[in-house]
Amino acid sequence: MTPWPGDARRERTTFGGLRRAALMASVPSFGNATTERRLESLLRAARLTGWRKHEDLPGRPDFTWRKGRVVAFVDGCFWHGHDCNRNLKPKANALAWRVKVCRNRVRDRRVARRLRREGWSVLRIWECALARSPQRCVDRIRQRLHRQESLGGMGAVVA
């Protein structure tokens, strides 16, 4: 039983008369395009190279540096439950949204643990941090890459 009220297959939305199920199905499960493109342009401007997008790894990281074994996720504050005081609490269906975001956070932790066990260094770049201080986000990535390079790409291996 779904915690969402109503019938998503029958109810129409205000988005061109789409049914709610069709509208939600059209939302991609990865790729926060605006923030990802922003970080991508910052990485290019900083001449940080060697990254690939959406590699086939657990959690489909947004950016992957295979050589340094570093992955970066660019997370939206609402969808991943960041407590950044941006007042992103929905008023409608609040319980259902809390459950959804809680599941996302559990999944994020599980994916990060798995990647670390496999020898990857995991970075999370929050949407608000990228907007507030983009250079700091790039510097964090650069520092992690240099640290991994000095460790020979064998950073956070957990036995």
pTM of the model: 0.75
* Residue 131 included in any domain: yes
Is residue 59's pLDDT more than 50? yes
Q: How far apart are the first and last CA of the chain?
A: 40
Q: Do residue 11 and residue 54 come from a single domain?
A: no
* Residue 80 included in any domain: yes
* Residue 51 included in any domain: yes
Give CA–CA dist 27/21, Å, rounded: 10
What domain count does the chain have?
2
Domain around 42 = 31-150
Give CA–CA dist 140/124, Å, rounded: 10
For residue 158, the model assigns a pLDDT of 33
Q: Which residues contact 82 (CB under 8 A, 6 or more apart)?
A: 75, 126, 127, 128
Q: Do residue 10 and residue 88 come from a single domain?
A: no
* Residue 37 included in any domain: yes
Query: In this structure, what token pair is assigned to residue 120?
Result: 């990857």
Q: Do residue 91 and residue 60 come from a single domain?
A: yes
- Domain containing residue 58: CATH number: 3.40.960.10
Query: What is the average per-residue pLDDT within 24-28?
Result: 61
42 pLDDT tier (thresholds 50, 70, 90) = very high
For residue 159, the model assigns a pLDDT of 29
Is residue 18's pLDDT more than 70? no
Q: Do residue 23 and residue 61 come from a single domain?
A: no
* Residue 19 included in any domain: yes
DSSP string, 40-52: HHHHHHTT---EE
Q: Do residue 53 and residue 1 come from a single domain?
A: no
Q: What's the distance, CA 136 to chain centroid?
A: 18
Q: Do residue 7 and residue 59 come from a single domain?
A: no
Span 84-130, pLDDT tens digits:
877 677 888 888 888 999 999 999 999 999 999 999 999 999 999 99
Least confident range from 25-34, 73-82, 105-114: namely: 25-34
* Residue 125 included in any domain: yes
* Residue 107 included in any domain: yes
Q: Do residue 25 and residue 56 come from a single domain?
A: no
71 pLDDT tier (thresholds 50, 70, 90) = very high
Q: Do residue 25 and residue 70 come from a single domain?
A: no
Nearest to 71 by CA among 134, 121, 130, 138: 121
Unique residue bearing structure tokens 């190279």:
49
Give 7 or 65, the one with higher predicted confidence: 65
